[in-house]
Structure 1
């Protein structure tokens, strides 16, 4: 009988093969210094930072003066989108001790600069906090329609995967870089994100075991379930121009489930089949995973999580770590991050990344 580990390895090899199938040329893993971004690009209205500002922080009076900020470009592949912009914030520290690190992923149409209050809160608590621009966002976007245009181009040409998967490739390369840094404990690297960023966190952890603690916020969903149960509309509406373009190309009067499945298969092959949440969540076991969603979130309908959650629970039991898995759908909450989610994720990271230098396995 196959062990869960074998299944996980098979999943990762197959997923990596897909990611490599649409890459440009390999380049050496180099991080160049860059300048702070003075006027970050938002591709839609700027979301409030009030919730992430509620993140627990150490009471350091002169915190801003105590922080070190690094702006870098990490080369993850050839070409313009192969330059990964990083914003790394940490606390000045004279000790030689390696610290835990957390990667933070922004949502659709925002950027790493928006994450700053969240990064600073974790840095105050002695984490190395890493924000980045996902593909076609922030420094990787040259206009307000960059992400939308990239999605449409992927549908038409099938040569890139701007929805989730290309950024997961960057996150694998980022793990290569972070594990080599002298200030970071390579065994204590967490990842979290909001909405699209939550999807990035979930798939990066499925793809790469170096992300040892994972907290996706309002991102985990069942893509195939949504198609089969006509619950796809809210997710589709979040990137509507792509589906409108596909509808016209296919000569359809309206967007329907058949079209939705076609689009996912084209721009993110396997997203609505063998890489979907019923298969990708269990492979994160036994690493600590806390999924936080809104109970009324139409983009991540709870019905689509029944099977994935059952399978994940089973995987955590089989690896003798049932306490490393948690799911909460916050009552009355739609597609939004709350201060409860920010506090819960903070406590989860502290529990698994702060104690005794290693994750509990």
Structure 2
């Protein structure tokens, strides 16, 4: 058996090695690249720029220990919120049950379940060294993505990672090893957006990482009830997903006195730019409302002992990002004069649970929880079959694990109809504040967005139609095109109708316009011509004094991204990591499109009408809340709830679509074209109570797919 001495370890690789790895890009960059088209490259540059802003801002204003102490609790509160834990759930009865117990040579194992919330079961094993005469240091071991399932029965990832718990118990620690939500005996969901397209998780402000963090907090509550545990000497470790959960609980809870997250964190550069997000499920991420980079999570552990452990060929936690993160966190430890409490351990190998990585964790805990420096003379090995570690013979009927995503994060209650103008103004102000701070915080400040730089691309007249195009800058690295159509020689414009197109609308518009303007649209793959639709437009422009503007926000039309379904999913997840959503940034694009119209000669004072269909109707709706002088909204088949789209961060925690419609109707005439008027009682009641004119808000029933 190999014997390892502490003197043979180094917690920091030599400077030369660190500098070398800082120059090595993520190993999976090519595999996880967004795509190769000009639009894909523009998006990649956008992500690169946005990530750099968050990186440069992270901890940059912390110069002194007082600076840090002043902001630390604010940051911790933000982290609770971004983990779906604000307000903090009630600490209800844990109702722990020991369902069985068996003996090993050096320790006893108890099979336990507790409820972190009523019905939210956590299955666990508690390893207790034999011969304990006084409370011992304890390790909370949180498992990674490595479950065991046989014949349809899940035994939990505690069975896969049992060798870690056994090692600690053989060396004088009590160890509480808990299953995760998705890979426990009761199988819940981690991959809501990754696998199941549950984008409403973003709108609800929910992440499965929050469930894991809460289960860990309640695990500490349970450990404090056990006589075998020294409450002042509790550590946490785990690898991969367990490494991430180690970060959450260590950052949130000072009862953790030492932490060794193994292969569980890197920075946004790796996740967003290099694409490592494509290798991770939702449980690895906060809902990034406050636009953090990950060194800020790690800094919240300071000045407690923290060993950051990783391997040099880990493709989903690349070394360059881990080293960058360590460098920023080290600055915070230095403010405490606690450099000795921070370590960086790098070993050779891929993303894998190896003995080399375990040993350093064992040494770290011996040093900081036992003040000891023994030889590590026993490897971490498992002793039991998965069946022996199973907690439930029959799964409980009252479990909520499989649907906890529906209730974990509270959503806004349906509001009461305001009884006065003052009540309404107060409610509207609160909603708008929430939207700015919690949903659209990722919008650029005006100065950062820069000039629209509106440029005419072409203007031609054919077949009774004047057709023009203008390019403008929505924000750096997002250049978009606005098309204008009207009758020739139009001298006075009554209104500009801006129709915001989704993918289907863009194809239909191209099919019509290519009939007369194929040459002007030759930078697109044109669908089959629709002559009837084009003739309809010709008839329209014979008699109207309106200008029709057509606009596709980012990711549609000229800027369409890689159409691969998986890539589309990962693009949307990248936005969330930056504290944005794809739909939220499309709202910004619509705002900028209306501003671009104002820069075009003769249109600066012309009333603007906005139109959108389905998801795009919701995007148009919210754009109108932030732009002045929108005369009218025509919204076709608007979803009743953000549960069905569009997706904005946290919006369902504060309001839903009917409340946004009510706010819009105060500012603009709003027409909804729906199959019926169900679901719109709130804006109807507000309009009536506020004595708005009948035409200010209308729901018009339609029974076909023809857009008015």
Aligned partner of 1:33 in structure 2 is 98
| Contact 1:135/1:162 (8 A) holds in 2 | no
Shift of 1:100: 0.2
1:177 aligned onto 2:222 = yes
| Contact 1:192/1:214 (8 A) holds in 2 | yes
Aligned partner of 2:109 in structure 1 is 69
| Contact 2:307/2:364 (8 A) holds in 1 | yes
- In structure 2, the CA distance between the partners of 1:295 and 1:70, relative to structure 1 (3 Å rule), is same
Aligned partner of 1:214 in structure 2 is 259
Q: Which structure has the higher relative contact order (CA within 8 Å, separation 6+)?
A: 1
Shift of 1:151: 5.7
Alpha-carbon distance between aligned partners in 2 of 1:69 and 1:83, rounded to the nearest angstrom:
19
Alpha-carbon distance between aligned partners in 1 of 2:130 and 2:144, rounded to the nearest angstrom:
29
| Contact 2:243/2:261 (8 A) holds in 1 | yes
Alpha-carbon distance between aligned partners in 2 of 1:138 and 1:114, rounded to the nearest angstrom:
11
| Contact 1:24/1:78 (8 A) holds in 2 | no
Bigger CA radius of gyration: 2
Give the structure-1-normalised TM-score.
0.73
1:124 aligned onto 2:167 = no
Pairwise CA RMSD:
2.9
SS at structure 2 position matched to 1:72: strand
Q: What are the within-5 Å matches in structure 2 for residues 113-192 of structure 1?
A: 113-141=159-187, 146-148=189-191, 152=195, 155-158=198-201, 159=204, 161=206, 163-192=208-237
Aligned partner of 1:57 in structure 2 is none
SS at structure 1 position matched to 2:110: strand
Shift of 1:185: 0.8
1:46-78 deviation line (CA, Å, top 9, x unaligned):
xxxxxxxxxxxxxxxxx8244211111121113
1:273 aligned onto 2:273 = no
Aligned partner of 1:255 in structure 2 is none
1:102 aligned onto 2:105 = no
Shift of 1:305: 3.0
Structure 1 residue corresponding to 2:78, chosen from 5, 11, 14: 14
Aligned partner of 1:355 in structure 2 is 371
Aligned partner of 1:58 in structure 2 is none
> Across the two proteins, how many residue pairs are aligned to each other?
296
In structure 1, the gaps of 5 or more residues are 38-62, 243-262, 357-361
SS at structure 2 position matched to 1:20: coil
SS at structure 1 position matched to 2:226: coil
Aligned partner of 1:338 in structure 2 is 354
SS at structure 1 position matched to 2:199: helix
Shift of 1:149: 5.9
Alpha-carbon distance between aligned partners in 1 of 2:140 and 2:289, rounded to the nearest angstrom:
23
Aligned partner of 2:465 in structure 1 is none
SS at structure 1 position matched to 2:185: helix
Shift of 1:36: 7.3
- In structure 2, the CA distance between the partners of 1:193 and 1:326, relative to structure 1 (3 Å rule), is same
Alpha-carbon distance between aligned partners in 1 of 2:187 and 2:88, rounded to the nearest angstrom:
19
Alpha-carbon distance between aligned partners in 2 of 1:141 and 1:349, rounded to the nearest angstrom:
31
SS at structure 1 position matched to 2:259: strand
SS at structure 2 position matched to 1:352: helix
1:230-278 deviation line (CA, Å, top 9, x unaligned):
3114x41354xx8xxxxxxxxxxxxxxxxxxxx98xx73028932x422
1:85 aligned onto 2:123 = yes
Shift of 1:26: 5.5
Shift of 1:227: 4.6
Shift of 1:288: 0.6
- In structure 2, the CA distance between the partners of 1:191 and 1:120, relative to structure 1 (3 Å rule), is same
- In structure 2, the CA distance between the partners of 1:307 and 1:147, relative to structure 1 (3 Å rule), is closer
1:84-122 deviation line (CA, Å, top 9, x unaligned):
111001112252x11000011221142111122221111
| Contact 1:101/1:190 (8 A) holds in 2 | yes
- In structure 2, the CA distance between the partners of 1:220 and 1:282, relative to structure 1 (3 Å rule), is same
| Contact 1:218/1:337 (8 A) holds in 2 | no
| Contact 1:216/1:290 (8 A) holds in 2 | yes
| Contact 2:144/2:242 (8 A) holds in 1 | yes
Aligned partner of 1:40 in structure 2 is none
**Greater helix share, structure number:** 1
Alpha-carbon distance between aligned partners in 2 of 1:272 and 1:132, rounded to the nearest angstrom:
30
Alpha-carbon distance between aligned partners in 2 of 1:109 and 1:150, rounded to the nearest angstrom:
20
1:315 aligned onto 2:332 = yes
In structure 2, the gaps of 5 or more residues are 1-63, 148-156, 373-708
Q: Which moved more, 1:160-169 or 1:337-346?
A: 160-169
